[in-house]
Amino acid sequence: MRLQKFLARAGAASRRGSENLMTAGRVTVNGQVVTELGSKVDPACDVVAVDGRVVSWGASPTTIMLHKPAGFVTTMSDPHARATVADLVPTDRYPGLYPIGRLDADTTGLLLFSTDGELGHGLLHPRHHVEKTYWALVEGRLGPADVRALCDGVLLEDGRTAPARARVLAGVERDRAMACFAGPRPHTHAQARQRTRARKGRDANDSVVELVLTEGRKHQVKRMLAAVDHPVVSLHRETFGPLSLAGLARGAWRELSARETEALHRAVGGA
């Protein structure tokens, strides 16, 4: 069997992720580093390891949830030496982890990681209509016409968005969302201004909107709200499919339970 296929089947990483592990020199077979794609292994007798940890045939894939703070780039490595989400998750324990989708550096909230490439692909594929809930602090007061436009679909430069669900939050719901926007100690003047604005709600004319999408275009929430003339000040993702952060502290992660993993598979039409 091809080594990258073995790694993917064993739950070490997705097929593409397995290839990246090999070319980075992180995979050994019987103690020897193997970097050549297409190399063969015998699952019955060869010992395969990633970063020194033996990968067992038939091992269950791992999926975890992270409450991403602001200030971290959604990538597992960065050539510009910026802080990445890889700094926040247990890559030493699960070397094949990769993020399912991405959140902007200044966006907080629920980010999933998995070693299951098929699950990750399914959760992001538009045909499965997996919902994601975002809370956004925006400039100005969002009116009924703006809400209808978001629900009907907004024309962007790459086409009209799919219908969404949108509503303006008030009372306790608004307070809960505002608490999510308060980020860590700012490092720049721009971050300081954003943090102060998020804490105060800027003024009575700012709105907190909940937007539920089934698409995953680049910067989609920010572009949709800008298109209705309400630029985003702060953005947070609270749910992904059937999962919510459910009290997970900012910057913390946890492994999904078997029931939660099954719910994700059902969301993409699996057993």
Question: 18: number of CA atoms within 13 Å, CB side?
Answer: 25
DSSP 199: H
41 three-state secondary structure: coil
Q: Would you say 208 and 177 are in contact if contact means Cβ atoms under 8 Å apart?
A: yes
With CA atoms as reference, report the closest residue to 109 among 83, 135, 91, 90.
135
3-25 burial, b for 16+ CB within 10 Å, e for fewer? bbebbbbbbbbbeebbbbbbeee
CA–CA separation, 185 and 202 (whole Å):
18
Report the number of secondary-structure helices (H) and strands (E) in the chain.
8, 15
Active site residue 78: no
246 three-state secondary structure: coil
Which among 46, 51, 104, 106 is annotated as catalytic? 104
CA–CA separation, 129 and 213 (whole Å):
8
Q: Specify which residues 234 forms β-bridges with.
A: 137
Q: Would you say 29 and 74 are in contact if contact means Cβ atoms under 8 Å apart?
A: no
DSSP 98: E
184-189-191 Cα angle (round to 5)? 35
Q: Would you say 83 and 71 are in contact if contact means Cβ atoms under 8 Å apart?
A: yes
The residues annotated as belonging to the active site are 104
